[in-house]
């Protein structure tokens, strides 16, 4: 991922910080998304990637809507690996579950809701991205998910990176792959 400048890191932190103080958001750190990566760390990585791509491309976007939508795009709050607790049709429906939580628990706007809802496109084909922000999120999520799935070791059962580590990574400017204990992998 392209490195952010110090000013961009500060701006990114300004946007995500209020959300990272919310217990509902930090709960994403309790669930594994891919391999050793928690859902919170995944969402933070996707949000940083969106910020970096939008900055590098120089396209006009609402950076706050983009980053908040990316941070909450997988805010569905269950373990999708566990069939006893996951909700029906996870692959196609989790963007709607995440958007519903974002609206009900955090009061996000309709614009952010729409950005979240289309992030799995073309799953389903009937829910395409309808803004630049939604399109960037859709691509960045696939890029980050591929990297996390291919490059990051599967965690031993019951181990995952920690909420604290993931939150700290967003604020100190780094989002390197983490070990299950939360330290930076060398």
Interface residues with Fe ion (CB under 5 A)?
74, 141
Q: Nearest distance from residue 33's CB to Fe ion, in Å?
A: 7
Q: How far apart are CA 66 and CA 77, in angstroms?
A: 20
Q: How far apart are CA 35 and CA 30, in angstroms?
A: 14
56: which 2 tokens? 């590098």
Q: Which is nearer to Fe ion, 10 or 114 (CB)?
A: 114
Q: Which is nearer to Fe ion, 10 or 81 (CB)?
A: 81
Q: Which is nearer to Fe ion, 61 or 116 (CB)?
A: 116
Residue 9: CB atoms within 10 Å? 18
Residue 184: strand pairing partners: 178
Q: How far apart are CA 163 and CA 31, in angstroms?
A: 10
Q: How far apart are CA 94 and CA 119, in angstroms?
A: 10
Q: Which is nearer to Fe ion, 37 or 165 (CB)?
A: 37
Q: Nearest distance from residue 71's CB to Fe ion, in Å?
A: 11
Q: Nearest distance from residue 36's CB to Fe ion, in Å?
A: 15
Q: Which is nearer to Fe ion, 117 or 141 (CB)?
A: 141
Q: Nearest distance from residue 9's CB to Fe ion, in Å?
A: 22
The owner of tokens 């805010």 is 75
Decide if 1 contacts 143 (C-beta within 8 A): no
Q: Which is nearer to Fe ion, 74 or 117 (CB)?
A: 74
Q: Please, what sign has the CA dihedral across residues 166, 2, 122, 107?
A: positive
Q: Nearest distance from residue 30's CB to Fe ion, in Å?
A: 16
Q: Nearest distance from residue 86's CB to Fe ion, in Å?
A: 13
Residue 108: CB atoms within 10 Å? 21
């Amino acid at each position: 991922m392209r490195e952010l400048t110090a000013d961009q890191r500060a701006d990114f932190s300004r946007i995500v910080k209020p959300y990272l103080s919310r217990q509902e958001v930090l709960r994403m750190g309790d669930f594994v998304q891919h391999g050793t990566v928690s859902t919170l760390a995944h969402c933070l990585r996707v949000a940083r990637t969106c910020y970096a791509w939008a900055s590098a491309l120089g396209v006009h976007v609402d950076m706050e809507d983009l980053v908040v939508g990316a941070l909450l795009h997988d805010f569905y709050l269950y373990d999708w690996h566990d069939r006893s607790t996951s909700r029906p049709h996870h692959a196609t429906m989790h963007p709607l579950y995440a958007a519903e939580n974002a609206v009900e628990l955090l009061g996000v706007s309709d614009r952010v809701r729409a950005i979240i809802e289309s992030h799995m496109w073309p799953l389903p084909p009937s829910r395409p991205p309808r803004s630049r922000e939604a399109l960037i999120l859709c691509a960045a999520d696939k890029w980050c998910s591929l990297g996390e799935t291919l490059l990051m070791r599967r965690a031993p059962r019951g181990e995952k990176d920690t909420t604290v580590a993931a939150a700290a990574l967003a604020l100190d400017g780094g989002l390197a792959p983490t070990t299950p204990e939360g330290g930076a992998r060398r």
